[in-house]
Structure formats: structure tokens, C-alpha cells
Amino acid sequence: MPSLRVFLPAGLTLVMLTVLLMLGVWQVERLAWKQDLIERIELRTQDRNSPAQRTLASASDISELVRLEDEFRKVNLRGRFGPEMGLWFTQIVNKPDNLARADAVGYHVLSPFYLPDGSAIMVDQGFVPSTLVAALRANKLEEQSLEVILRWPDKRGGFDNADRPETNVFYVRDPAALGAHWGVALPAPIGEVAALGNGWPRGGQTRIVMNNNHLQYAVTWFGLAIVLVIISGLWHIRFYKMRTAR
């Protein structure tokens, strides 16, 4: 039936065009959201040398943190380190610049930091080359005020190795996993030591990595929508020409 041969492709084209346009619009909305997020993060990190304006001293203070509002924010922690240490393996990002080749592979030292109310938050003390791990000193356990950059854990990727808690080595900064290993309840936020320092572990290694490919995705979806319209139009023109010729 000729009408079915016309309306079925046209209907399918309309459905696919609607889906492609919706995907394109969604990516445009995501682009606006990501740009706003990046601007807010840049405002938080414009002056890393300025003193932190907020102090976290209890579980209640930690519970008020919101990732979208507080990630990459500099704050003070008041309390003390615990004796526990875990090693987060990293060889791609979050290590000091200008290291000798032999020192470029190493770990970040993770420890619980106990607040005055007895609660704890995981602190990333910074990078240490694998060649110097054996020489690490024990944590200083006295009370102190510590400036940190707030971060949240990443999800475990398909290529991340399984943690080796028996050797104190972890491949993902997961407060839940390290807390279970240490027997300490740890919330999701992580504090990265803000001060660069000269010894090991070396703090000040926060990296702002924020992918923003939404414009590229939006162009792709809208481009596919245009191609779909062109192909559908050419098909219908060819169909009507063949029908007229007959």
C-alpha cells in the first residue's frame, strides 16, 4: 500500500527526530549547568593562599557539607590525626611537578583526622614517592588546626585494581572502605592538605579536573537530526519521483 510506504518512514523519522532534538536540548541544559559549576569552583579557588574562612570541628559541621556547593572549598579542620595510615596508589595525577623520573610513581598518604567531638574525616596528606614510603614518619598526634581543600571520592572504575588492605594499599579513595579497614566511621568528604610543604608526604596537590564536553555532544545530536531530515527528505523526493514516473 503506497500510503503505508509513505507514512511509516515519515512517522519513524518524526520519532527519531524528536528523540535527537530532545537529546540536543538536554546537552545544552547540561552545558549551562556545567559552566555555572565551573565558574563557582573557580571563585572558590581563585586565591588558594588566602586563609580558610570556615572551621569544621564536629560531625554536625561535616553533615552540612554539600558537594555541589563545597567541593574544592578551603576550610580549617580542628582536631588531631590518628595513627592510622593508608596508601592510595597514583601515577597519573595528584603528584608534585618536577619530580625526578624515579620518584614520579608513588602514593598519597591517607589518615583519619579526629575532630573534638570524636568524629573523624579522611585527610589526604599528600604525595610520597614509592621509594620513600618505608621512611615515612608516624603521624603527629597533637591537636592542631589544619587547612584542607574539600573533595569527594570518585567512583571505582572498571580498570581500577582491587584494594589490598592487607598491605595497606588502596586504589580508590573510598572513605567507606578505608573506614572499615581502620574501624572508623568516615563521611564522604575528603580533606586534601592545602599547604605545599617541603617534606613527605607533600601536600598542596589538589588538581581541578572538570570535563565539559556538553557542547560537543549537543552539536553531535543536532547534527544527526539535520542528517536525518536530509536523508528522509531525499528518500521521499525519490519515492514521489518514482511514483510519478509509473
Distance (Å, whole) CA 118 – CA 212: 39
Written as nine digits, the cell of 98 is 618536577
Alpha helices in the chain (DSSP H): 2-45, 59-63, 67-70, 175-182, 214-245
Distances (CA, A) of 135 to 28, 29, 123, 139, 159: 51, 50, 20, 12, 30
Distance CA 143, CA 122 (A): 16
The pLDDT assigned to 11 comes to 83
* Alpha-carbon span 153 to 68, nearest angstrom: 13
Structure confidence at residue 91 (pLDDT)? 57
So what's the pLDDT on residue 30?
A: 85
pLDDT of residue 92: 54
Residue 114 sits at φ, ψ, to 5 deg, of -90, 130
Integer angstrom CA distances of residue 11 from 56, 132, 218, 224:
59, 67, 24, 17
The one-letter code for the residue type at 97 is D
Please list the pLDDT of the chain residue by residue as tens digits (246 residues): 456 666 777 788 889 999 999 999 999 988 887 887 777 777 766 666 666 678 999 999 999 999 888 988 999 999 999 999 999 987 555 566 667 766 778 899 999 999 999 999 999 999 999 888 988 999 999 999 999 999 999 888 787 889 999 999 999 999 999 999 999 999 999 999 998 877 889 888 887 766 778 889 899 999 999 999 998 888 778 877 777 776
Q: Indicate the pTM of the whole model.
A: 0.71
Secondary structure class of 90 (helix, strand, coil): strand
